[in-house]
């Protein structure tokens, strides 16, 4: 009865979970011995379910007469048959998986039909071609984002950067929205790789920012442009708790600040960046004691 394209209400197939749990599965379940629909009282007594007349009438009115006749002529499957119905592992080509058909949902069938496959994003493929050593486990690059900050804007920026869908003058020039593709900071040809890896203004600011972080947290950390860009922060055993959280958040803010400065056509300012980082540390409760 459920998810049957022949039984629709307002052009949509029907699935009422509360009725499904009461073992109302087939058209035969709402028919009496003579092949007629049960009255509301008979239906409620049979399945011990409470419902109003209009709700029940809506369903039986949606069942076509030809389907009702076919259902009356066919014996309903026994509960023993339903309970024993299993989908063998060989059917879905998974050696150790057996699925109970009575518990299957649309999402389960979708996973089976799609082969539980994970499609590698185009941006990640591009990064891997150019920097294979940094993208052996690209899933961790994304999990780093959501573990490092709760700020949705920072998360969205980091997500778009890894997918290579942020705009630089290279893309804007292709769309004929700007007159040239020169970087607004160093005036060399712009691109995503240039912005975060090769721009001399960016790399110089990275060094100043990391030096400030080390001074504020009494640490001696060095990070390359690639480590900062690809969220490849080494596991430092001496850095735990708040200092580690501050470092992870600092790296994300650093990239976002560089990109914001480029968009605003201004040079990065260390004092402005420091205020931004300290404020974000306070908001995310990982500020210095």
Contact 247, 280 (CB under 8 A): no
- The rounded Cα 135 to chain-centroid distance in angstroms is 19
- 216 lies in the same domain as 160: yes
Rounded Cα distance between 69 and 92, Å, is 35
pLDDT over threshold 90, residue 104:
no
The predicted pLDDT at position 199 comes to 95
Q: What is the mean pLDDT of the chain?
A: 85
Distances (CA, A) of 219 to 213, 229, 243: 8, 21, 9
* 154 & 175 share domain: yes
250 phi/psi in degrees, rounded to 5: -60, -45
Q: How many domains does the chain have?
A: 3
**Are 235 and 132 in a shared domain?**
yes
pLDDT score of 79: 63
Query: CA-CA distance, 230 to 164, in Å (whole number)?
Result: 12
Q: Over 80: is that where the pLDDT of 61 sits?
A: yes
* Structural domain contains residue 289: no
Q: Which residue has the higher pLDDT, 269 or 94?
A: 269
Residues 203 and 229 in one domain: yes
Closest CA to 239 of 224, 253, 250: 250
Q: 106: domain range?
A: 84-117
72 and 93 assigned to the same domain: no
Q: Over 70: is that where the pLDDT of 75 sits?
A: yes
Residues in a beta bridge with 129: none
Residue 288 lies in a domain: no
> Do 168 and 269 lie in a common domain?
yes
- Shared-domain flag, residues 134 and 255: yes
**Average pLDDT estimate for 45-50:** 86
Count Cβ atoms within 10 A of the Cβ of residue 247 and give its class: 0-12 exposed, 13-18 middle, 19 or more buried.
buried
Count of CB atoms within 10 A of residue 229's CB? 25
**Mind listing the pLDDT tens digit for each residue in 134-183?**
877 888 889 999 999 999 999 999 999 999 999 999 999 999 999 999 99
Q: Is the pLDDT of residue 121 over 50?
A: yes
pLDDT greater than 50 at residue 90: no
In a domain, residue 170? The reply is yes
Residue 18 lies in a domain: yes
In this predicted structure, what is the pLDDT of residue 91? Answer: 44
């Amino acid at each position: 009865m459920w998810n049957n394209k022949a039984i629709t209400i307002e052009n949509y197939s029907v699935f009422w979970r509360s009725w499904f749990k009461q073992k109302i599965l087939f058209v035969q379940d709402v028919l009496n011995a003579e092949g007629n629909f049960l009255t509301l009282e008979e239906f409620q007594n049979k399945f011990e379910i409470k419902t109003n007349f209009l709700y029940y009438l809506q369903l039986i009115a949606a069942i076509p007469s030809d389907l009702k006749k076919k259902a009356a002529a066919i014996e309903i499957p026994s509960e023993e048959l339903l309970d024993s119905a299993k989908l063998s592992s060989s059917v879905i080509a998974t050696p150790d998986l057996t699925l109970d058909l009575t518990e299957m949902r649309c999402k389960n069938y979708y996973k089976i039909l799609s082969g539980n496959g994970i499609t590698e994003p185009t941006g990640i493929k591009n990064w891997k071609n150019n920097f294979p050593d940094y993208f052996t486990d690209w899933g961790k690059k994304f999990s780093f984002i959501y573990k490092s900050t709760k700020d949705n804007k920072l998360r969205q920026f980091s997500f778009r950067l890894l997918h290579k869908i942020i705009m630089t003058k290279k893309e804007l020039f292709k769309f004929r929205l700007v007159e040239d593709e020169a970087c607004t900071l160093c005036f060399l040809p712009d691109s995503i790789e240039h912005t975060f890896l090769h721009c001399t203004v960016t790399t110089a600011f990275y060094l100043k920012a990391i030096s400030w972080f080390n001074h504020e947290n009494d640490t001696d950390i060095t990070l390359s442009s690639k480590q900062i860009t690809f969220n490849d922060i080494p596991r430092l055993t001496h850095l735990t708790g708040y200092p580690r959280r501050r470092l992870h958040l600092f790296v994300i803010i650093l990239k976002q600040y560089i990109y914001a400065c480029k968009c605003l056509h201004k040079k990065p300012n260390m004092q402005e960046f420091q205020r931004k980082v300290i404020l974000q540390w306070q908001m995310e409760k990982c500020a210095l004691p």
